[in-house]
Amino acid sequence: MAIVDEVREIIAQTLRVPVEQLTPDTRLDDIGAESLDVIEIVFELEEKFGISIPFNPEEGSSRRAAEEPNAAGDLAFQTIGEVASAVKTLVDAKQAS
């Protein structure tokens, strides 16, 4: 199964929405994902793929983002496609190491 489909499955299960409704362009907030839901989705993805996703909603400050450009706050996490692409990057990095 392609990563994006596994991501769709996990998000569908977490938010209890039919998986058919979810496309790479679906925005998480459009399907009712609140802050705690996003944190649960990140956790489920980490468990599923054996990765660590540097997502921290508290690390959005301009100062820290400038100091640590790869730090959590920059992670694009608005759409399912963006989530899948972040997961793919981390899975690839894990396999390469």
Partner 1 sequence: MNRVVVTGIGVVSPVGCRVDEFWSALVEARSGIGPISIIPTERLIARVAAQVLDFDPDAHFEPRQSNVMDRVAQFAVVAARSAVRDAQLAIGEELALDIATVIGTGVGGQNTQDSSYFRLYAQNAPKLHPFTIPRLMVNGAVSHVSMDLGLKGPTYSVATACASGTHAIGQAFHMLRSGQTPVAIAGGAEACITVGTLKGWEALRVLSADTCRPFSKTRSGLVLGEGAAVVVLETRERALARGARIYAELLGFGMSADAGDITAADPDGAARAMQAALRDARTNAEDVDYVNAHGTATTLNDRMETVALRKTFGASAERLAISSSKGVLGHSLGAAGALELAASAIALQTQIIPPTANYEEADPECDLDFVPNTARDAPLRTAMSNSFAFGGLNAALVLGRG
Residues at the interface with partner 1 (CB under 8 A): 34-36, 39, 42-43, 55-64
- List Cβ neighbours of 68 (8 Å cut-off, separation of 6 or more): none
- We find the least distance from the C-beta atom of residue 2 to partner 1, in angstroms, to be 27
Q: In 1-97, at which residue ranges do the beta strands (DSSP E only) sit?
A: none
Q: Which amino acid is at 27?
A: R
Counts for the chain of helices (H) and strands (E), in that order: 4, 0
Return the number of the residue (24 or 72) whose C-beta is nearest partner 1. 72
Return the number of the residue (15 or 42) whose C-beta is nearest partner 1. 42
Return the number of the residue (9 or 59) whose C-beta is nearest partner 1. 59
Quick one: tokens of 81?
């496609």
- We find the least distance from the C-beta atom of residue 56 to partner 1, in angstroms, to be 5
- We find the least distance from the C-beta atom of residue 23 to partner 1, in angstroms, to be 26
Return the number of the residue (20 or 63) whose C-beta is nearest partner 1. 63
Rounded to 10 deg, the angle between the 3-15 and 80-96 helix axes is 130
- We find the least distance from the C-beta atom of residue 51 to partner 1, in angstroms, to be 15
